[in-house]
Structure 1
Amino acid sequence: MPLLFVSGVILRAYVAGQDKHQANNMLDLELEDGSVRAVGIYVNDREDVRLFRPGYKASVVYALDELKQQPAADGGVNYSKVALEMAVSLQSVI
C-alpha cells in the first residue's frame, strides 16, 4: 500500500467544524516548498492536543487506500487517506 509522508512547521492550530467547545482538531502546516496544507490532529490522549503549537514541527504518515471510483477529478488515482502515525516536536523549530 502506498504511503504519503507530510511534514512541516505549524502555522496555526484551530477548530474545524461547528462545535466551538472542542479542542483544536486541525493544523495548517507550511511544507518545505512553501505551500500550506491543512491536516487533522490525531492523538491518543486528548491532553496532547496542547503540544501542537505554532512554530513547532509536525509530521503525519498516511496510508493511501485506492477507492473504487476512478479516476479522480484531476485524472489521477482516487485515494482515501488513512492516518497511521502523527508526531510533533517538543521545541519550536523557528
Structure 2
Amino acid sequence: MEKVQALTLNSSKPLLGIKGTYGLFGSKEWWNNIENNVIPQTEIEGTIVKVYRTGQDNIEKQNTIDIMTTEQKIHTEGMYANNEDDKTLYKEGAKVKIKYAYEPLKDQPAADGSQNNANTILEVSISI
C-alpha cells in the first residue's frame, strides 16, 4: 500500500500509478468512498472451472483460477486469501463472487480510448 501511495504522490512519474481521484489508496478517505459507493465498483459471479499455476517463478502452488461467469464468459483471476490455508477453498465447482473497485490511472486514456483504470479486488467470497 505504501508503494501505491508513494507512486500516486510522485509528480516526477506522471504516467505511472493511480491518480488518487478518490483519496490516497487505502486511506480513511478512500475507504469511506468505497463504503459510500463513490468509487465505482462491480462484482462478478460464477463457478470455478479450472485451478492452475501461472507465472515464471519456480513456484509449485496453484495461483490462478478460471471462472465461468453467470454471463457464460471465462474470467481469469489470481487466487487471493488473507490466510494462505484458505486458498484450499479454490476448487473446481466452487461458486465464487469477486468485488472490484475501479480507479483512474495517471496514464489516460486506455489504448481503446476508454478510461484507463486500476482494478482493485475488495472482496472474494467462495462457497463450496
Place the TM-score, normalised by the shorter chain, in its bin: 0.7 to 0.9
For structure 2, the residue ranges without an aligned partner over 5 or more in a row are 1-38
Match of 2:64 in 1: 26
Pick from 49, 67, 90 the counterpart of residue 87 of structure 2: 49
Partner of 1:68: 106
CA distance in 2, matches of 1:6, 1:51: 18
Shift of 1:85: 0.8
Question: How far did residue 33 of structure 1 move?
Answer: 1.6
Larger RCO: Structure 1 or Structure 2 (Cα < 8 Å, ≥ 6 residues apart)?
1
Q: Secondary structure at the residue paired with 1:87?
A: strand
TM-score by length of 1: 0.87
Matched with 1:15 is 53
Residue 20 of structure 1: how far off its partner (Å): 4.5
**How much has 1:62 moved relative to structure 2?**
1.2
Q: Distance in 2 between matches of 1:14 and 1:20?
A: 14
Relative to the length of structure 2, the TM-score reads 0.65
Q: Which structure: larger Rg?
A: 2
Alignment-derived partner of residue 3 in structure 1: 41
The DSSP-based 3-state class of the residue aligned with 2:96 is: strand
State the superposition RMSD in angstroms.
1.3
Which sections of structure 1, spanning at least 5 residues, go unmatched? none
Number of residues of Structure 1 aligned to a counterpart in Structure 2: 90
Q: What is the SS of the residue equivalent to 1:48?
A: helix
Asked if structure 2 preserves the Cα contact closer than 8 Å seen for 1:5 and 1:62, the reply is yes
